[in-house]
Amino acid sequence: MARIVAEREAFMQAVPLPMLHVGPDMRIGVANARALALLGPQAVGRHFGLSLRQPALVAAIETVMQGGEKQNLRCNLSPGAHEVVYDVTVGPTPGGGALCSFFDVTEQELISQLRRDFVANVSHELRTPLTALLGFIETLQGPAKNDEVARERFLGIMAREAERMRRLVRDLLSLSRVESQERMRPEGLVDLSGLLASVLTTLRPMAEQAGVALELTGGEVPVKLRADADQLTQVFHNLVENAVKYGTPGKLVTVSIGREAPFPGAPSGAVSVAVRDRGEGIEAQHLPRLTERFYRVDTHRSREKGGTGLGLAIVKHIINRHRGRLRIESEKGQGSTFTVVLPLG
């Protein structure tokens, strides 16, 4: 019997999944290292119901112990601070007892949930302008057919709603493209100082119209780094445009180039670009979620400004592709600073 237990334990230790065996005495007789990490070292020798507290899992083991067929189920366990989702297989073993194996499907569950949320958000974002367009078309075909003043007003609204859908589709395509390239580090060589000067030149007319001044500091000398010029242009265009839109008229938006100490992934040090506005600022509870898709601090204001809720998500993925970091600092009434840190070398 001892030899059988030893062989079973050696087999289970070689399996790269949490695995345990419940003996005929209803106690956990053998558990590999991964199962002990999941349930705790005290699990062996205890009644399985004391360590496996999921009712569905306990019921599956009892069914197998009573001569039932193999059971497959999904359950949530919390071995640490975060809940983990497992596909669990419970099967009978010769001589009695049940063998349980746990396959971690947390990532698949998360991806599925993200996909469901993404589809729901896209549907919601498109439904509003589409409903407006259909309503105005129906009105122009009916009651307002011969009303020239109403027709001009409705056509203006329809044009804005159509432009909103165009921006959304553009950003969705951009996000998809960026995500597909995220694991491929850029190979091009870019002068960051020149790129930022070009971005500010492009956005200066919009800033002047909004009554906001743009300033670049630290860009006196070239700063060379491996990067995708088009994607970095997109990052800083987005950040500076946001700073102008949500800044305060008559105030300054500052873009500052600096240096950062080495960190994992950037042994030669890094360069930082801080985009600071003097706007209303953002409350602290919103900061961790700003790069989520479709997350907006003020939905109505964001839509009025032409935002799709995808800009900072695109920024985050581009920075990830460049092995960089994004820091967001803000205080209500004091403005916001978005800092992009990119490895040198």
Tell which phi-psi region holds residue 95, choosing left (phi > 0), alpha (psi between -120 and 50) or beta: left
User: Are residues 212 and 318 part of one domain?
Assistant: yes
pLDDT band at 280 (very low <50, low <70, confident <90, very high): confident
* Average pLDDT for 135-139: 87
User: Are residues 321 and 208 part of one domain?
Assistant: yes
pLDDT by residue (tens digit) across 263-278? 887 788 899 999 999 8
* Average pLDDT for 283-312: 77
pLDDT by residue (tens digit) across 204-239? 999 999 899 999 998 888 889 999 999 999 999 999
> Rounded distance, CA 57 to CA 74, Å?
8
* Closest C-alpha to 67, from 50, 91, 87: 91
- Whether 336 and 343 have beta carbons less than 8 Å apart is answered as no
The confidence score (pLDDT) of residue 305 equals 58
Last residue of a domain, one of 106, 138, 173: 106
User: Are residues 320 and 199 part of one domain?
Assistant: yes
In a domain, 208, yes or no: yes
Q: How many domains does one find in the chain?
A: 2
Give CA separation, 53 vs 43, 81, 101, 126, in Å: 12, 17, 16, 44
In a domain, 232, yes or no: yes
> Rounded distance, CA 279 to CA 332, Å?
9
User: Are residues 309 and 201 part of one domain?
Assistant: yes
Percent of the chain with pLDDT over 90: 36
CB hemisphere CA count around 126 (13 angstroms): 12
Report the DSSP beta bridge partners of residue 263: 266
* Average pLDDT for 36-61: 89
* Average pLDDT for 90-106: 89
User: Are residues 190 and 305 part of one domain?
Assistant: yes
Last residue of a domain, one of 79, 106, 133: 106
In a domain, 156, yes or no: no
User: Are residues 189 and 304 part of one domain?
Assistant: yes
In a domain, 164, yes or no: no
Last residue of a domain, one of 106, 139, 163: 106
Residue with more model confidence, 83 or 192 = 192
In this structure, the number of other CB atoms found within 10 A of the CB of residue 255 comes to 22
User: Are residues 335 and 196 part of one domain?
Assistant: yes
CATH number for the domain spanning 31: value is: 3.30.450.20
- Mean pLDDT, all residues of the chain: 86
In a domain, 213, yes or no: yes
User: Are residues 102 and 192 part of one domain?
Assistant: no
Q: Which domain range does residue 2 map to?
A: 1-106
User: Are residues 190 and 93 part of one domain?
Assistant: no
**Is pLDDT of 295 > 60?**
yes
Least confident window among 61-70, 110-119, 247-256, 297-306? 297-306
In a domain, 135, yes or no: no
User: Are residues 93 and 196 part of one domain?
Assistant: no
The confidence score (pLDDT) of residue 219 equals 80
pLDDT band at 169 (very low <50, low <70, confident <90, very high): confident
**Is pLDDT of 298 > 80?**
no
pTM of structure:
0.65
- Whether 196 and 257 have beta carbons less than 8 Å apart is answered as yes
> Rounded distance, CA 124 to CA 122, Å?
5
CATH number for the domain spanning 246: value is: 3.30.565.10
- Measured in whole angstroms, the distance separating CA 125 from the mean position of its chain's CA atoms is 18
User: Are residues 70 and 198 part of one domain?
Assistant: no
In a domain, 134, yes or no: no
Cα dihedral value 61, 67, 71, 75, nearest 10: -10
In a domain, 227, yes or no: yes
Write out the E strands in 185-229.
Answer: 189-191, 213-217, 224-226
H-helix or E-strand spanning residue 40:
none
